[in-house]
Chain A
Amino acid sequence: MTADSTNELEGQLAEWRAYTHRRRELHHTDADELEDHLRSRITELTEAGLHADEAFLIAVKRMGSLDELSREFAREHSERLWKQLVLPGEPDAPTAARSRRELPVMVLCAAAAALAIKVPGWFGLDLSDGDAAFYARNLSLFALPALAGYFVWQRRVGPHVIGILALLFVLGGVAANAYPMADDSQTLVLTAIHLPLALWLVVGVAYVGGDWRSDRRRMDFIRFTGEWLIYFALIALGGGVLTAFTAGTFRAIGLNAEGFIEAWLLPCGAMAAVIVSAWLVEAKQSVIENMAPVLTRVFTPLFAATLLAFLVAIIWTNNGIDVERDALILFDLLLVIVLGLLLYAISARDLTARPGLFDRLQLALVASALVIDVLVLLAITGRITEWGFSPNKSAALGENVILLTNLAWSAWLFLGFVRGRMPFARLELWQTRYVIVYAAWAWTVVLAFPLVFNFA
């Protein structure tokens, strides 16, 4: 064999190796074994008088297509596809060292979050005492900075963006703690609800690596949020089981573990779970289909049916919607859920697919939610003209208007799409841009509401 043809052969083999890398079913060592096989055959064929490139072609051909090969391997090693849920498969060389550090860094961030919630306790602010209000308004400040930190490390975010992130976290912390709000004031409750939302979107800036102007990246973050919620809920369920066993088994041997559970297990576990869920979403991202779109498929028809039934009931009984404060929140939540169903259907949709039955169902869902919300809005406006503005009513009104605008325009774009007049991408673009409005509103409630309403 000449030096030239040897080089060429090595190049071809390297290319073949690169192809095997893309197969999750084929591990690094499997590829080694197969490469040895290829080389053996090539040597034999060249000794029989073939040129190196001919020998390579024949050897690869005898090996069978990689598709077939990896199918056979997948059949034998089905566990490999699952293991990657937690342990990222076989990354290419440059990222290998980094992904080995992935787990320790995640554990470090989770520990930081878990520890953060214990720090105020050292200064006499006890969870179980009368300082619940302190914890309520600061809850997001314990875990979310650690989460943002994790993404800063993972995405190698530049110092410029880190500065902005830090500034926003400090701003949120100051607003929550420096304003003289009474423990039972409405503005404090509003801050406790809106600060996590505002800071979650700040985490989003870290998640997209500072590239928050990109629509695709923003959609990624929306997707991430849905998956994160599912994982968090799952971990919370598991945590409940763990808590029950801890309490039960220790009681059985005459020890009272409730103090430990309340002071350590629950708060620290919840904070750490925020980070662990995020890490899980990241780790399994490419392995199995995401859950949120699957759930969306199940619940879109069910919610559509429920809302339509509700509308029919309103017309049938001729009852108006009686807007109590609790009911206001309920309807806001309803809009959020409809929006969520819409968002996750959008996020998983094949952008080029033609409109189908599911899209029409979605449109029916959005339309009925809109009708219901207009009824609610009328009721709220009636209440406000009667009783005047309060922080709660204003926040509810603002949120309703914002959600309504989003849903209304989505419905319009959706209608255009279902009738084949508009590309689906318009809808996606609208949703990803609208995230800014939510961020602006959440920050407004946190920063401006206490001032406007005189800390009421």
Chain B
Amino acid sequence: MHITKDLVAASATPLVLGILAEGDSYGYAILKQVNELSGGQLEWTDGLLYPLLHRLERLGHVKSAWETPVGGRRRKYYRITDQGRAELAEQRRQWAAVVDALRGVWRTAQSIKPITAPAWEAGR
């Protein structure tokens, strides 16, 4: 299944903030975690993740620091700030509202039930 660009972009911020709320992390680990959480459905490009991390830092939602673990490589770690947690809570409320609305639609709208391809797509 291919998830459209808009959806990926919209869900990126709460995902990253949510992962960082669990504990400090770095780019590659965040990417892997997103992949695992979505069961491989959400494949982010690196071009999406790093500018997003930098934007969150500029907005004050996260802080970054270069750390060198013993015997390891120098690596940039990100940590969520209080403001970031507040933002995450806010995004969570918004997403809950959206998900509720969608759930309602899936239940009531009978026309969507039979998931058959529309006529103009059948020929493909």
* Residue B76 is within 8 A (CB to CB) of chain A in the complex: yes
Contact among B28, B47, B66, B74 for A72, CB-based, below 8 A: B47
Contact among B51, B66, B73 for A75, CB-based, below 8 A: B51
CA distance A30 to B58 in the complex (A): 14
**For window 55-71 of chain A, which residues contact chain B by CB distance below 8 Å?**
62-64, 68-69, 71
Quote the shortest CB–CB distance from B65 to chain A (angstroms): 12
How many chain B residues touch A (CB < 8 A): the figure is 20
B46 touches A62 (CB 8 A): yes
Contacts of B29 in A (CB 8 A): 40
B51 touches A76 (CB 8 A): yes
CA distance A47 to B75 in the complex (A): 20
Interface residues on A, range: 20 to 34
* Residue B85 is within 8 A (CB to CB) of chain A in the complex: no
Q: What DSSP secondary structure best describes chain A's contact surface?
A: helix
Contacts of A33 in B (CB 8 A): 27, 50, 76
Contacts of A63 in B (CB 8 A): 45-47
B75 touches A36 (CB 8 A): yes
* Residue A325 is within 8 A (CB to CB) of chain B in the complex: no
Residues in B lying within 8 Å of A, measured CB to CB: 26-29, 31, 45-48, 50-52, 54-55, 58, 66, 73-76
* Residue A77 is within 8 A (CB to CB) of chain B in the complex: yes
Given contacts A36-B27, A36-B28, contact A73 B46 (CB under 8 A): no
Supply 22 A–B pairs (Cβ within 8 Å), ascending by A. A29-B66, A32-B66, A32-B74, A33-B50, A33-B76, A34-B46, A36-B27, A36-B73, A36-B74, A37-B31, A39-B73, A40-B29, A63-B45, A63-B46, A64-B45, A64-B46, A64-B47, A68-B45, A72-B47, A72-B48, A73-B54, A76-B51
* Residue A41 is within 8 A (CB to CB) of chain B in the complex: yes
Quote the shortest CB–CB distance from A23 to chain B (angstroms): 12
CA distance A33 to B51 in the complex (A): 11
Q: What DSSP secondary structure best describes chain B's contact surface?
A: helix
Besides A37-B50, A40-B29, A68-B45, 15 new A-B residue pairs in contact (Cβ under 8 A), listed by A number: A29-B66, A30-B50, A32-B66, A32-B74, A33-B27, A36-B73, A37-B31, A37-B46, A64-B46, A64-B47, A69-B46, A72-B51, A73-B54, A76-B52, A77-B54
CA distance A260 to B50 in the complex (A): 53
Quote the shortest CB–CB distance from A432 to chain B (angstroms): 44
Interface contacts (Cβ under 8 Å), in number, total 56
Nearest chain-A residue to B51 (Cβ)? Answer: A76
Contacts of B50 in A (CB 8 A): 30, 33-34, 37, 72-73
CA distance A76 to B27 in the complex (A): 16
Nearest chain-A residue to B26 (Cβ)? Answer: A36
Nearest chain-B residue to A70 (Cβ)? Answer: B47
CA distance A19 to B52 in the complex (A): 22
Contacts of B75 in A (CB 8 A): 36
CA distance A71 to B47 in the complex (A): 9
Contact among A41, A62, A73, A76 for B45, CB-based, below 8 A: A62
Given contacts A32-B74, A33-B27, A41-B28, contact A76 B46 (CB under 8 A): no
Contacts of B45 in A (CB 8 A): 62-64, 68
